[in-house]
Structure 1
Amino acid sequence: MSTVDDRKKGCCNMPDGAEPPVTASAEYGVALESLRSAAKWLLTAFAVVAGALAAGLQLTGLGGLEACRLIPAAIGAGIALWSLGYMATKASAVLAQEWVTLGNFSNEELTSLFRDDQKSEKSQRFRTALERIEDDRNELYGHVASSLPNLRQKLRETNEKLISGQAGEEEKRRLAEESAALREAARDVAQCASYFTTLGLFQDMRKTLAWTSFLVVAGLGVFAWAANPPKEDKPLQVQVNVKR
């Protein structure tokens, strides 16, 4: 297991021209941006489809329909438009996901999270993220703290000592290095938690996309059937002139 000094040396003692090692926070940041880019693309696609759908619906002829066809046409169009709007809402949730910070891992927050009455989707996503953080604790923060609340406490105490002005120069350098390592671990934890909570929203969006796509197709099919009744066959009038 690496120590704070080991990580510090690994970052500083590098050959000229060598690139710095990719941190966990950077890797999670790239993955998080990929999820949000996919959600942004889907949101744009939903807007284009909804606009084309609204422009393509033949609403001008609905006034001449009988009630037995007017009602299904209105319901079909409403279902299709509502489904597209709901899909857009789910995609927007991925983009607007609240950022997770180290403050979310205090003892009070964790106690509230694991109460039996916390059954919301947000709580479930956060639990999943916490489980993944604990699975990767040795890579994320295990080298500087024993637990997430301990990481938060050590970071606060180190920063308080650093700004108190009572430490000597050697002590300040040591505290600065320790604070840098703790802040790096905090960033890794925050990026990991943000990624997995956003991933939960993205997976939920994909499930929603499956059944709402079916509703869009079904709604358009009902509308097309109801808005285009079969033309009535008019009897052909034949006039016969008989010459004597």
Structure 2
Amino acid sequence: MTTPSGEERSIIAAKAAASASLRDTAKWLVGGVAATAAGIFAGSSLTHLGSLDLHQNAERLLMAIGGGVAGFVGLALILSRAIAVLTVESVGLPALAAGETATLAQVRDKMATIYAGTFPGNVTSVEQLLAKANDARLKHTDADKLFLAEFKLFFPKLMAEAGFQHVTQKFRSLIRALWIGGPLAIVGFGLFAWAANPPEDQAPAKPPVTIINNR
């Protein structure tokens, strides 16, 4: 048997669907935070920003600039993590075994835990699995052929799980970014809106009109 069973194909499809679901959730989360921050920023009037005098309104001007910068930094943090989640990447076994990125290294270690005791060829890690597969391709013994047959069955399941875990790790990074960047963006733009719109000076009250009747 050289093709995955019906149950294994269902598991592979479920992992792909779960990854797509995480990406959809990421869109919803980021859209909500971005809309809130954009609403605060768009709701503030910029007409008074240029009237802030560097000497008389130095504190407000600095707070407006600082708040705007903080708001955009918060949004940039969220969007960078969101783009990583939404980007569909193909994870290859060599890259996974080498742990080319910090996220892939985490996924590789996770695979060793998930498939402990079930790797073909009695290996205990993704690195050993790749090394043994490369070595078996150079040999033609019955044991190597048997291992390669098991490897071909195991490979789709392994990579489907690795792809799902890869998206999961990036999604968790997005959640952490939302906890930090979301409040930073909202508070930053709120501070900008307040500082950029100082209260208008009220005209002094006119004295009451006194009517003198000489009769």
TM bin (shorter chain)? 0.7 to 0.9
Deviation of 1:146 (Å): 2.5
Higher mean C-alpha displacement, 54-63 vs 203-212:
54-63
TM-score by length of 2: 0.73
Aligned counterpart for 1:194 among listed residues 142, 163, 167: 163
Aligned counterpart for 2:24 among listed residues 30, 37, 60: 37
2:79 maps to a residue whose letter is A
Residue in 2 that maps onto 1:137: 115
Deviation of 1:35 (Å): 1.8
Secondary structure of 1:21's aligned partner? helix
- The 8 Å contact of residues 25 and 189 in structure 1, kept in 2 or not, is answered as no
Deviation of 1:204 (Å): 1.7
Q: CA offsets per residue over residues 41-94 of structure 1, 9 Å max, x none?
A: 334445544554453231122122343323312322232233122211111112
CA distance in 1, matches of 2:32, 2:139: 52
CA distance in 2, matches of 1:160, 1:180: 14
Alignment length, in residue pairs?
204
Identity percentage of aligned residues: 24
Deviation of 1:145 (Å): 5.3
2:105 maps to a residue whose letter is R
- The 8 Å contact of residues 70 and 184 in structure 2, kept in 1 or not, is answered as yes
1:221 aligns with 2:198: no
CA distance in 1, matches of 2:127, 2:105: 15
Aligned-residue CA RMSD in angstroms?
A: 3.5
Unaligned runs of 5+ in 2: none
Unaligned runs of 5+ in 1: 12-19, 114-121, 163-170
- The 8 Å contact of residues 102 and 189 in structure 1, kept in 2 or not, is answered as no
Secondary structure of 2:212's aligned partner? coil
Higher mean C-alpha displacement, 87-96 vs 130-139:
130-139
CA distance in 2, matches of 1:206, 1:212: 10
- The 8 Å contact of residues 26 and 171 in structure 2, kept in 1 or not, is answered as yes
CA distance in 2, matches of 1:216, 1:70: 18
